Each structure stands twice: as structure tokens, then as C-alpha cells.
A and B are shown apart, each in its own frame.
Chain A
Amino acid sequence: MSADRMAGAGRSNKLLRALLYSVLILFAVYYLLPLYVMLVNSVKPLEEIRQGDMLSLPTLFTLEPWAKAWSSAQIGVQPTGLKPYFLNSVLMVVPAVTISTVLGALNGYILTKWRFRGDDVIFGLILLSCFIPFQIALIPAARILGMLGLAGTTTGLILIHVVYGLGFTTLFFRNYYAAFPTELVRAAQIDGASFFQIFRRILLPSSAPIIVVTVIWQFTNIWNDFLFGVSFGDFDSLPMTVALNNLVSSSGGVKEYNVHFAGAILAALPTLVVYIVSGRYFVRGLMAGAVKG
């Protein structure tokens, strides 16, 4: 009898599992469908898209749309393709991510290991900056960039993104370093290590997970930013996101969907790569911060 019950339990268990998996697969399909549509249609000639349905595989495979999106499509008035803007984005994102991460790490180090009177208040204020909506900052930011002579430059965009990202990077590192044993810092002090030596030799080597989290977070946010890019960018500094928008909206007459799809994937590719390369650490680092915060 008990064996019977167990078999019954096993069966219902299996059923539950099957149900669970079907639901999960359904969700996965739901999320992957747009990507599939984009991929499939980015390698079809335009006629095929117009005739057939969006979901079918290409009958005639071509990389023409990718080449066009990259180097010759009409962006605004010039037929430059997305290439120069991709470069603008890289030139903006790399320094902005690096600087904001380094400053965030230093802030976190000071706020946890070199505490001073009123440090909580300062941290609170830094934290507050995470909640300020972009739109509020637009006009003051424009004024300041103008005053600094940085309007329309990549440097200006870097400055904006660094300032805006500092709240988050500081939060990440502060929470991570709060759980870092202070006795290690004290031991290093007795060993005679300086402020920066302690940071570089003791804390930094143990910071890989939180650096990965911060870099992913900053990279995605800055790469995907549209508002600051469109507000403060020029031809020399417009980021990829704005260019993509211009590509989609400016090719008058025929809508070249295949080129648009290819361009969109190109725009999303860097963040995708960053995720795949370091996603493993992302989850681990977030958990560490969350639990020990």
C-alpha cells in the first residue's frame, strides 16, 4: 500500500515537473521570439519580407543588410552606416565605465574602511542621486556642459555618465566592502601600507565579483542610453542608440526592415557579449551584495 502511494506521489511529481517545464519553455519562447524575428529577417532580401510572413526562415540567405547597416545606410542626411556612431559609443562607454567604476570603488573603500564624522549623511546623499530622474537633470546639465565648453563632445557625455553612474557604483562597492573584514585593513596598516597600497594590494584583488557587476551595470546603462545622447551629442559624439533611431526613421520611401533589424542587432551586440562573458559573475556578485549588504 505504501509502495502504491509512493508510485502515486512519483507520478504526480512528474506531472508537476512537466507542467513547470512547459511553462518555463513557453516563457523562454516568448522572450526569444523577437530576437528570432530580428535574426531571421536581417538575413533576408527585402522582397522576401514583404511577400512572406515574418516567421519563416530565409529562402535566399544574404548578409547584404548587415553590410549596409554597418557601412552605407543613410543616417540622418549622410550615408555613413552605423560604423562611426558605433565608434562614438565605444569611445564614450569605455572611459565612462572605467572612471565611474574606479571612483565608485574608492568611495566604497572610504565609506567603509576610513569612516569619518558624517559619512552616513554623505552616503545617503550619494544614494539619493540614484533616484533622480534623467529628465530633471537635462537643463542644468546642458548649462554646465555649455559653461565648461563640453557641449556636443564625447568628453561631455562621459562626464554626464560618470556623474550619473556614481551613485550606483558607490552603492555597489560600499555594500560589498562593508562585508570585507576590517581587521585585514588594520593588519595592513600595521604593516605600514598606505591608503592606496591597502586599496590596491588588499581590497582590489578580492573585488572581482563586484567589479564585474558594476561594469555590466554601467556598460548596459551607458551603452543603451538614448536621452543624454540625443540631448548632448553631435555628429562627432552621437552614440549608437541615437544613430539607430535616425536610421529607422530617416530612410524615406521604402522601409528597409532587414537593414533596420541588422542595425538593431548590431546596436545590442556589445551588451549581449558583455553579459555572456561575465553573466556568471553578475548573479554571484549581486547575491553577495544583497545578502551581506
Chain B
Amino acid sequence: MSFLKIEKLKKSFGRVEVLKGIDLEIEEGGFLVLVGPSGCGKSTLLNTIAGLETITDGTISINGRSVNDLHPSERDIAMVFQSYALYPNMTVAGNIGFGMEIRGVAKAERDAAIARVAETLQIGQLLDRKPSQLSGGQRQRVAMGRALVREPQVFLFDEPLSNLDAKLRVDMRTEIKRLHQRMGTTIVYVTHDQIEAMTLATRIAVLKDGVLQQFGTPAEIYARPANLFVADFMGSPSMNLIPATLDADGADVAIVMKRDEGAPLVLPYAKNVPELAARKGEMVVFGIRPEALTDPDSADRNARHVSELDCDIEVIEPAGSDTFAVTRIGGREIVARLRADAPIIAGQKARLAFNLDKAVLFDPQTQLRIA
């Protein structure tokens, strides 16, 4: 049964519709990540769940109870803001204890709760400081502490790591994941960093212009993106998307891609797929992730369907653990991911293996995935 459920949610600011009918649900203890480009409505969606923005239409329910008409403080949620929003005139302890103070919790009980949270987040030695005397990472912890101490049914995070430097961000990401595993509280988490989304989520919702593009597990979203937008947005380096034409021999389908020089590339795509074969001669977009396009030695031995082809390598980018090679197919720059010591030289031909099990096809008109 779903714990947090959002149905047909719409939100307009004046005449501008920012959320255009969102349907989402997450089970108890789930980790839902909302991801999408800037301005797509992630924060707005989170704020409507928190009750900080009114909604225009639809329902939001938590644990089977509609919270549409409840004040933010009555929804049993806690929120961590992008700017941390620590009260500047209060100490760390004051910040964490403010909600309890407002609710009239006794001082002793409050102090005990603050100490407990400080222990969890290792901020015990900071309790008497003001927010202005803390580093970015410490502020982040205090903001989490203020949320943790409420022991809510749902945690809401709005880009909590975006103000941290790269190293700290990775550390805190792990820490959030650890906290989630330990407490098992439901979390809704906003980010525009797709790596954060992949690593943290049990479910990802990809948004664009206030419309839900795809809702699924990280693996589904990564392997079977619903449309070209999701394919391009999720994954880094992003999926190679190559204009191609479908060719068919009976029910067996092949992909034909133009090259600057020489004969077109022809890849046998799948056998015995009559629906696809019916599209013979149509334009498609062939999508393949860089790791599915590699040197023959690193190719997935379990893949049922690997094709090898010679390609002109334009640039190589060694990245330590892997080497990225750039080639050109169908007029696009295509990135392949090879093992670090693959014998490959820029400006020469190299043999690349296409793992067609992992390839997908899109209809360029509707932008939707067709296979």
C-alpha cells in the first residue's frame, strides 16, 4: 500500500500552470527522488507536499489521510531546505529545539532529544554556536538535525547538498543513505543531480515543465527510459542518441546509420519482432549508453547480441578507471567507454563492440521509446 500518494496534482501561480497533473506514490520507507532540469517544478511539488504552497487541484495523502487542508506543522513532515534556513539568531541547540519549544515540550525532554540527534549527526560540540560560526557542511548537518528531531512520517529534502563542495557532497550523500537505511522513514528528495538520484532513490520521478516524464526504479529509468528527454537527462556521460533508419528482413530488424565516409553502418538489432519490422524504412533514434559501446575484450560476455564494427576514433579521454573514446556516427559525436588500457589511438580505426541487448529505439516524432 502506498504511504504518500499524490493524485492529479495541479498548481498554478496566477495564470501560469507550474504542475500539470502529477500522479505519484511511494511505499512506506521508500526513497522517492524528484529530478528534472531547473524550473521544472520540483521545489513547488515538494512545497505542496509540505503544505507551504496551496494546491490548485488534486489530492495529497500521507498514510491514508488526506492532508490537503492541514497546516504544514500538522502534516507530520520535516523539511530540509536548500539554503538550510537556520534561524540566524539562535544557537544550534535552539535551532534544533525550536519546534519542540513552540509545541511546549518541557526543557529537560527537549535537551534530551537535542542531545540524541546531535549524537547521531556528530554535532555535539557545535550546540552552543550560532549558524554564522559554522562551515557549510556543519550547517547542513544542523539542518538535518532539525528535521530528524521531529521524528516525522515523511522527510522532505530540497536539494540539500547543492551548496556543498564536490567531496563533501559525496560524503553527505552516503550519510543520508545510511540514515535512511537505519531509520526507514519515507523520504522525498529533490535534486537536479542525476547521480544523486540514481544512488539514493528507490523510486525516481523525472519531471519536465511540470509534467511527469517517467516514474520508476533507478534501474528502469536508466535501462528503459520512457522518452528521449529521460534518456538524455539521466546518466553521465549521457546516452548516445543516433539518428538511424529501420531496415527489415522478414521479421528480423536491422539499424542503418550513416557515416561521413564509407558505407553506412548496419547493425542487426533483433530477430523476430514483427511490430518493429512493420516500421521498415522509418526514421528512428538509436540509443546506446557509452558502457554498452566498448572494446571487444571488455564486452559483456553474457550479452546475447553483440556486434563488432570498425570506427574512426577522433578523440580519447582517459579518465583513470576508464578511457572514453569519441567517434562519429550519423553526424553525431558518439562516446564509447573502454577499459583504461585499451590499445587505441586517436585518429586511427578501432574495433568497437555494440551491446545491442542494452540498446533502445525511439520514435523521433513522438519522442517515445518504441523498443
A interface with B by C-beta (< 8 Å): 181, 183-184, 186-193, 197, 201-202, 205-206
Q: State whether B83 touches A189 (Cβ < 8 A).
A: no
Could you jot down 5 A-B contacts, CB within 8 Å?
A183-B82, A184-B85, A186-B79, A192-B99, A192-B102
Other than the given A190-B72, A201-B87, 16 more pairs (CB < 8 A) read A181-B85, A186-B50, A186-B79, A187-B79, A187-B81, A189-B52, A189-B71, A190-B73, A190-B79, A191-B102, A192-B73, A192-B102, A193-B98, A197-B102, A201-B98, A206-B89
A192 CB contacts on chain B under 8 angstroms: 73, 99, 102-103
Q: How large is the interface on B (under 10, 10 to 19, 20 to 34, 35 or more residues)?
A: 20 to 34
A206 to B90, CA, bound (A): 11
The answer to whether residues A186 and B98 also contact, given A191-B73, A205-B89 and a CB cut-off of 8 A, is no
Within 8 A of A (CB), among B46-64: 47, 50, 52
Residue B78, interface by CB 8 Å: yes
A197 to B146, CA, bound (A): 18
Q: State whether A190 touches B88 (Cβ < 8 A).
A: no
Within 8 A of A (CB), among B71-113: 71-73, 77-79, 81-83, 85, 87-89, 98-99, 102-103
Q: How far is the CB of B340 from chain A (nearest CB, A)?
A: 44
The answer to whether residues A188 and B87 also contact, given A193-B102, A197-B102 and a CB cut-off of 8 A, is yes
Q: State whether A189 touches B89 (Cβ < 8 A).
A: no
A190 CB contacts on chain B under 8 angstroms: 50, 52, 72-73, 77-79, 99
Q: State whether B87 touches A187 (Cβ < 8 A).
A: yes
Partner of A189, one of B72, B82, B88: B72
Closest to B152 in A: A190
Q: How far is the CB of A108 from chain B (nearest CB, A)?
A: 18
B99 CB contacts on chain A under 8 angstroms: 190-192
Lowest 3 A-B CB distances belong to which pairs? A192-B73, A191-B99, A205-B89
A191 to B83, CA, bound (A): 17
The answer to whether residues A206 and B103 also contact, given A190-B77, A190-B78, A190-B79 and a CB cut-off of 8 A, is no
A189 CB contacts on chain B under 8 angstroms: 52, 71-73
B102 CB contacts on chain A under 8 angstroms: 191-193, 197
Q: How far is the CB of A67 from chain B (nearest CB, A)?
A: 47
A202 CB contacts on chain B under 8 angstroms: 87, 89
Q: How far is the CB of A181 from chain B (nearest CB, A)?
A: 6
A23 to B282, CA, bound (A): 83
A192 to B85, CA, bound (A): 15
Q: State whether B87 touches A184 (Cβ < 8 A).
A: yes
B87 CB contacts on chain A under 8 angstroms: 184, 187-188, 201-202
Q: How far is the CB of B310 from chain A (nearest CB, A)?
A: 56
Q: How far is the CB of B167 from chain A (nearest CB, A)?
A: 25
B73 CB contacts on chain A under 8 angstroms: 189-192
Q: How far is the CB of B68 from chain A (nearest CB, A)?
A: 16
Q: State whether A183 touches B85 (Cβ < 8 A).
A: yes
A44 to B83, CA, bound (A): 64
B146 CB contacts on chain A under 8 angstroms: 187, 191
Closest to B79 in A: A190
A201 CB contacts on chain B under 8 angstroms: 87, 98
A187 CB contacts on chain B under 8 angstroms: 79, 81, 85, 87, 146
A61 to B146, CA, bound (A): 67
Instruction: Kindly name the residue among B52, B78, B146 whose own CB sees the greatest number of chain A CB atoms within 10 A.
Output: B52
Partner of A181, one of B78, B83, B98, B103: B83
Partner of B85, one of A186, A197, A205: A186
A202 to B95, CA, bound (A): 11
B98 CB contacts on chain A under 8 angstroms: 188, 191, 193, 201
Q: How far is the CB of A109 from chain B (nearest CB, A)?
A: 16
A103 to B146, CA, bound (A): 32
Q: Mark B22-53, 1 if CB is under 8 A from A, else 0.
A: 00000000000000000000000001001010
A184 CB contacts on chain B under 8 angstroms: 85, 87-88
A236 to B98, CA, bound (A): 48
Q: How far is the CB of B354 from chain A (nearest CB, A)?
A: 48
A201 to B83, CA, bound (A): 19
B85 CB contacts on chain A under 8 angstroms: 181, 183-184, 186-187
Within 8 A of A (CB), among B92-147: 98-99, 102-103, 146
A181 to B143, CA, bound (A): 15
The answer to whether residues A186 and B52 also contact, given A191-B98, A197-B102 and a CB cut-off of 8 A, is yes
Q: How far is the CB of A281 from chain B (nearest CB, A)?
A: 17
Closest to A180 in B: B88
B82 CB contacts on chain A under 8 angstroms: 183
Closest to A186 in B: B52
Q: How far is the CB of B110 from chain A (nearest CB, A)?
A: 13
A186 CB contacts on chain B under 8 angstroms: 47, 50, 52, 72, 79, 81, 85
Within 8 A of A (CB), among B144-191: 146
Q: How far is the CB of A188 from chain B (nearest CB, A)?
A: 7
A205 CB contacts on chain B under 8 angstroms: 88-89
Q: How far is the CB of B6 from chain A (nearest CB, A)?
A: 19
